[in-house]
Amino acid sequence: MSTHVVSRANELIEAASTVASPPLVYQRLMQVIADPRAGIADIGRVISEDQALTARVLKLVNSALFSLPWKVDTVTEAVRVVGISQIRDLATATSIISMFDDVPEDLVSPSSFWSHSLGCGVIARVLARHRGEDNPERFLVAGLLHDIGRLIMMMHAAEEIREALGEARRAGIDLTESERTHVGCDHALVGGKLLSKWNFPAALEEAVRYHHDPRRADRFPTETATVHVSDLMASALGWGSSGRITAPVLLPSAWDTLGVDPAVVPRMLDDAEQQWLAVVQLIEDDPGA
């Protein structure tokens, strides 16, 4: 990869002042979790400091995402039931969504963008649960953030991305390709750079950075393959759009990495659809959170 492309990506991230630092809540939660002395109440307290976040986390925990058989009323109980890391990841995800409130609506509808991102995240989470991963919420976050680089572009290279989108639609060129032509780098690279800057876990960064080319994910091939396949699925089902008009092309080896039987796919997608509808509803009901 040329230094030009990388520096172009760094440039975009630097320009995005609002995203120069990761969501505060993530940092706080990471601090708390990293401290072995931290108790469950500490985590609850960090979230509870943000009323909107608290409400959103509780809504998520009580949503179809978890299909809890009972209602959880407090963050402490949510942490107890859903798990510390899981709550951290949910809180982070919802915070990130709210960080991008001022995306220009004329390029891509924010609700369509988040729709697609949430769809991808939910599918990734369902796949992870199906495969018995111990923290499926990590996959939810990875799916949610996979196209975050394009948000950065839309905010700080609006003209270039507009040309890229237009060319991709007109000429049927792959959007990622057009991005490189018009913006100077693609959204996956920008997204990876952002997560790296935020000190997010390497698994997240790699999954986002290589979600269009999972062969290059040498440390976290499963996470990357999951996001790659989930992106394809959400696109094929028409669950929102982050700008693409066609689904990305499947890399068969990524599917093989997951070892999932295609026969269970309809059932998983039915599950995912219920959860996706629930969280999309939740975000739309509460756009300012």
Partner 1 sequence: MITVPQPSDARTDPAADDPMGWRDSAGDEARTEWFERALDAVASVCLRLQLGLGATPEMRSVFEAAGPVLRRLGEFDVLAFLETDQDGLEFDIAAIDDPGETEAIRTEVDHHIEHGTFAWSLYENRSIVVRSSRRDRYIVLHVLATPSRVLGMFIGRLGEGKTFLPDAADKALSLVLTSCSNALESGILQRQLSQHNENLSKLVAERTEQLERSEKAAHAASKAKSEFLANMSHEIRTPINGITGMASLLALTPLDEEQHEQVGAIIRSADSLVSIIDDILDYSKVEAGMIELESIRFDLADSVEDVAELLAPRAAEKRVETAVLYDPFATRNIVGDPGRIRQVLTNLVANAVKFTEHGHVLIRVEAGRTADRVRIGVEDTGIGIDPDKLEHIFDKFAQADSSTTRRYGGTGLGLAISRRLARLMGGELWAESRPGAGSTFWLDLPTGHPVGHDRIGTRAGDDRRGPTMIVMSPRTIIRTRVLQVASLVGAHAEAVSTRSELLARLPARPHLAWVVADVGWRPDAMLDLPGQLEAGGLPPECELLALVPPGARDDGVRLKEHGFHHWLGRPVRERRLLSLIEGVPSHPERPPVESGTVGSARILVAEDDPTSRLVAREMLQHLGCEVETVENGHGVLAALKVQDFDLILMDCQMPGMDGYQTTETLRSAGWDRLPIMALTASAMPADRERALASGMNDHLAKPITMESLKAALARWLPAAEAEHGRRAEVASTPSPGDDLPTLDVMDLMARTGGSVEIVDVVTGLFMEDWPMLEAELRRGVDDADFQTLASVAHRLKGSAANIGAKRLARAARDAEARWVAGDGLQANVLLDTIVHRARELGALLRTTHWEDPDR
Partner 2 sequence: MAQIAAEAARPGMTLTAPVLDRRGRLLIPEGCEISERHVRALRTWGIDHIEIEGPDGQVAEPLDLDPETVELATAEVDRRMGANDPEHPLIVALHAHAVRRGAERLHARTEAHR
Residues that bind partner 2 (CB under 8 A): 69, 130, 132, 229, 232-233, 235-238, 245-250, 252, 255, 262-267, 269, 273
Minimum CB separation of residue 268 from partner 2 in Å reads 9
Each residue 117-146 as x (binds partner 1 by CB under 8 A) or -, in order, gives ------------x-xxxxx-----------
50: helix, strand or coil: coil
Helix (H, G, I), strand (E, B), or coil: what is residue 131? Answer: coil
- Which of partner 1, partner 2, none does residue 252 bind to, with CB < 5 to 8 Å depending on kind? partner 2
At residue 159, the 3 state secondary structure works out as helix
Q: Which is nearer to partner 2, 7 or 246 (CB)?
A: 246
Q: Would you say 207 and 276 are in contact if contact means Cβ atoms under 8 Å apart? A: no
Number of residues that bind partner 1 (CB under 8 A): 24
Tell me: does residue 288 bind partner 1 (CB under 8 A). Answer: no
Q: Does 36 bind partner 1 (CB under 8 A)?
A: yes
Nearest CA among 180, 190, 270, 280 for reference residue 233: 270
Task: Please tell me whether residue 1 adopts helix, strand or coil conformation.
Answer: coil
Name which of 1 and 263 has its Cβ closer to partner 2.
Answer: 263
Of 77 and 273, nearer to partner 1 (C-beta) is: 77
Q: How far apart are CA 68 and CA 82, in angstroms?
A: 10
Q: Does 39 bind partner 1 (CB under 8 A)?
A: yes
Contact call for residues 23 and 96 (beta carbons, < 8 A):
yes
246 binds, among partner 1, partner 2, none (CB under 5 to 8 A by kind): partner 2
Q: Closest distance between partner 2 and the C-beta of residue 271, in Å?
A: 8
- For residues 129-144, b (16+ Cβ closer than 10 Å) or e, as one string? ebeebebbbbbbbbbb
- Give start and end residues of each alpha helix (H) in the chain: 3-15, 24-34, 40-48, 51-61, 75-82, 84-99, 110-130, 136-145, 148-156, 158-171, 175-182, 187-197, 202-209, 221-237, 252-258, 265-285
Residue whose C-alpha is closest to residue 159's, from 129, 179, 143? 179
Q: How many CB atoms lie within 10 A of CB 34?
A: 8
Please report whether residue 68 would count as binding partner 1 according to CB under 8 A.
yes
User: Which member of 80, 162, 169, 180 binds partner 1 (CB under 8 A)?
Assistant: 80
Least distance to partner 1, CB of residue 62, Å: 13
Site membership for partner 1, residue 167 (CB under 8 A):
no
Least distance to partner 1, CB of residue 40, Å: 4
Question: Does residue number 247 form part of the binding site for partner 1 (CB under 8 A)?
Answer: no
For partner 2, give the closer residue by CB, 48 or 112.
Answer: 112
> From the CB of 85, what's the least distance to partner 1, in Å?
8
**Residue of 230, 221, 240, 241 whose CA lies nearest to 269:** 230
Binding stretches for partner 1 (CB under 8 A): 33, 36-42, 66, 68-70, 79-81, 83-85, 129, 131-135
